[in-house]
Structure formats: C-alpha cells, structure tokens
C-alpha cells in the first residue's frame, strides 16, 4: 500500500505541527532513525534577502527555540505541504501524532481496515468523526 505522500496544512496550524515536532524529536530519532523533515525548515537555508546560506543548517529543537523565521513566514500561508512521509512514517505518526488535521487526513487516505490503524482508539467507526486533540 502507498503512503499518504504529502500532508497539507493551513498556516495557523503550523505552530502546532512545529511544537509537536520539537516535543517528539528525540522519540522520532530513536524509533525512526531520524526526525521527519518538515518542508518549512528549508527556509533556514536562505537569508532574509532570499540568498542561499553557505553553511549547513542543522535543525534541532534547540535551533528552533532560537530561530522563528519559519513561524513568521508560514503562519500567513494557506494549504501548503508540511511533510512527505513513507508508509513506515505514516504508521509511526498514527501512533504518535494527535493533531486533528493530520488524523483526519489519515482517515481520508487510508481505508478503515488499514493495519496501521490497529489498536488506535481514535479511529472512528464508519460515519463518526475522529477523537482528536488540537
């Protein structure tokens, strides 16, 4: 089965995804081998004039605590891709990402009988809304 590919969000949701990424960084690295890359982090590869930065930027929770250019930029956008995930990452996210818009997307893309949903109480029965947190 294919993965969901890209997950699109609204800019006002971006701080929620960003904070979730910070809070779950160590767990992602431990369980997936690396953190899921957020497309929005590419903004740190450019200076404020749009020129490519020569030195490599390593995005970590500590880096994000001191650099908020991404929030200032993406909070104004609508319907942009936050990440592109494999099925392996989708399975991990289903277990670990409680963000409502993500869960709704998963339910839209994968059939209710998908093995990645096994044991997830938030996956609703047919025609019910998911139990999620914002």
pLDDT in the model for residue 1: 46
**C-alpha angle with apex 10: 113 to 98, nearest 5 degrees?**
40
Q: 70 in helix, strand or coil?
A: helix
Domain parsing of the chain, residue ranges: 5-94
Residue by residue, pLDDT tens for the chain (134 residues) are 445 578 899 999 999 999 999 999 999 999 999 999 999 998 888 766 666 666 778 899 999 999 999 998 898 888 899 999 999 999 999 999 999 999 998 998 888 889 999 989 898 876 555 566 55
Q: For residue 28, give both structure tokens.
A: 């992602």
Task: Look at the pTM and tell me if it is higher than 0.75.
Answer: yes
pLDDT in the model for residue 64: 94
Closest CA to 82 of 52, 64, 102: 102
pLDDT in the model for residue 78: 87
Q: How far apart are CA 31 and CA 48, in angstroms?
A: 35
């Amino acid at each position: 089965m294919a993965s969901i590919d890209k997950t699109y969000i609204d800019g006002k949701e971006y701080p929620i995804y960003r904070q979730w990424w910070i809070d779950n960084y160590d767990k992602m690295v431990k369980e997936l081998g690396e953190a899921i890359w957020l497309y929005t982090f590419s903004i740190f590869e450019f200076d404020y004039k749009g020129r490519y930065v020569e030195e490599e930027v390593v995005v970590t929770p500590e880096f994000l605590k001191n650099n908020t250019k991404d929030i200032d930029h993406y909070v104004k956008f609508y319907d942009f891709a936050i990440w592109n995930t494999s099925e392996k990452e989708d399975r991990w996210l289903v277990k670990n990402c409680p963000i409502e818009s993500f869960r709704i997307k998963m339910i839209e893309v994968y059939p209710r009988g998908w093995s990645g949903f096994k044991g997830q109480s938030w996956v609703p029965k047919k025609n019910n809304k998911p139990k999620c947190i914002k």
